[in-house]
Structure 1
């Protein structure tokens, strides 16, 4: 859902969209619709004003057809509420879920508006003059700090759908992680044992993750390796590779290449050995050889000549 789209590029409102000036109550807040921004799936997205906040914010209005989908939306809200106070995570303001008279439910979510659009938009604008290594490390550093905030929860929270499409750019130029519809709590070293448990996990992975960013342990669940924070670390490796080369490392070869972690670096554009070594470390086939999130943040801070803003904590180690 492109919640960072620029207002002057907005499409015409679809049938049923709320008109400018409409007052909407969301939890403890009343907002006024300014402009329709986008639609996707079951959702309409609006730019709105709220008295208590000086800047415009986003209202996401989701038509929820049944209780199964409602559980998913409510889970996303729970994670946004929990995570919304970090500088590199899209801020959550309030939400409300109501039954509709025609059946189903309506979910309203208020969140931060990122006028810089998304990283995917930035990359599309920079097809000729690609992102520079310092720019890439800044984006990667911001996203790594957001992920550290999630992994440092107790129990750790996994994003599970980390990709360029889920990074927005704030008014101040900060890069922010969004879309927590796939997030879940880590089960640590848990491995499903029975066939129904394995099939349930396989179905969950199919619905909540993106193939090109899946770790080897997600591709072949029958190897019975735990799926935990190290799957997010692998996705960070794919993310960094994509920022550098505008493609994913396993785009052409597919799942078999992911299983064996076989990939190559294109000759152009050129990047430092340090950055390429970081990608290789993140994309270790053996999850125990991948760094934890503290090691990732520490490494990228060294590459950027910055002090590491987080401390190492014991439950982040695997």
Structure 2
């Protein structure tokens, strides 16, 4: 565990965080403008046993940055509770003595830690194909939940660092980059100023190695929609397999051309390789949608697909249910047919 930086909240400190009274147990991490702590819920002054929580403390300098944090909170509120999404519990905001604002966000604690830590512990004996498919399937369920919202939510920062293990489920976290701003048709930026503003936002809110080609060259005017998350899922799956991203060494030109190599080792099934290949298509129209990705992943695991095929893009999240279909028929294809997209 890293040493606590100056200004962290001391263990044993009790704070009122929205509806909850929380006592700080320990500092665990920092990132950007945030410190992250593990704490416990107090009920009438007594710690609630077996229910640790995470407190994310964010310091922002101005109202513009505060609006970004509030957007993250509103997204988490909107998502509610889902087994593959880190649960938001409450939040509060206050002014800092020397200017700026402090935001505290209370979330569920995922004791298994980030997937990247698991990978680092498994450098000698890497993740097996069933383990990879379990992680990936859980993330796909979370992304499906986002994409089936009305309007659809784009996560925009899917990566191994944003996947946490809690009990036997893997959960997607960090919605600071999430947006409903889908750019198609007349919404695609046309002038240089608007394109430059969008470039700045993308640079601030996404990770280069996971960016889709249409995010790198906005002058192509291909638009930005759910397919950027599909591309990121392809990069994620490749990294789970090979412990590196497809474009780590070759850079942005390789991303723009969707050019990458497949290592000889470790060895994975042709169907698994075909799965990430289907997502890493230069043309977003040739990439599968999240249902097709989920369907293929379930087939590889020998399980029924846990989500329905919703052809309409706009469906209320409250109507979306994760129930096993009555039929257990699986798709016999060993790859995703791009013509289905």
TM-score with structure 1 setting the length: 0.93
**Aligned-partner Cα distance in 2 for 1:43–1:263:** 35
Aligned partner of 1:175 in structure 2 is 170
2:23/2:42 contact within 8 Å kept: no
2:258/2:282 contact within 8 Å kept: yes
Aligned partner of 2:113 in structure 1 is 117
2:91/2:104 contact within 8 Å kept: yes
1:293/1:316 contact within 8 Å kept: no
**Aligned-partner Cα distance in 2 for 1:231–1:35:** 36
**Aligned-partner Cα distance in 1 for 2:29–2:219:** 40
Q: Tell me the CA shift for residue 188 of structure 1.
A: 5.0
**Aligned-partner Cα distance in 2 for 1:19–1:163:** 31
1:101 to 97, 111, 129: 97
Aligned partner of 2:23 in structure 1 is 32
- Output one character per residue of 1:190-214: Cα deviation in whole Å (capped at 9) or x when no partner: 3111221111111111111111111
2:88 to 83, 86, 92: 92
Please identify, of 28-37 and 296-305, the stretch whose mean Cα deviation from structure 2 is larger.
Answer: 28-37
Q: Tell me the CA shift for residue 21 of structure 1.
A: 2.1
Aligned partner of 2:152 in structure 1 is 156
Q: Does 1:197 align with 2:194?
A: yes
TM-score with structure 2 setting the length: 0.87
Aligned partner of 1:18 in structure 2 is 9
Q: Does 1:128 align with 2:124?
A: yes
Q: Does 1:43 align with 2:38?
A: no
**Aligned-partner Cα distance in 2 for 1:105–1:186:** 26
**Aligned-partner Cα distance in 2 for 1:46–1:163:** 22
- Output one character per residue of 1:105-161: Cα deviation in whole Å (capped at 9) or x when no partner: 110000111111111001100111010000000000000000000000011000001
Can you give the 5+ residue segments of structure 1 that lack an aligned partner in the other structure? 1-9
1:166/1:178 contact within 8 Å kept: yes
Aligned counterparts, 1:164-313, within 5 A? 164-170=160-166, 172-189=167-184, 190-313=187-310
- Output one character per residue of 1:26-71: Cα deviation in whole Å (capped at 9) or x when no partner: 1111111112222233222111111366410011111111112111
Can you give the 5+ residue segments of structure 2 that lack an aligned partner in the other structure? 315-340
Aligned residues: 308
2:89/2:108 contact within 8 Å kept: yes
1:233/1:293 contact within 8 Å kept: yes
**Aligned-partner Cα distance in 1 for 2:286–2:18:** 45
Question: Equivalent residue of 1:59, what SS?
Answer: strand
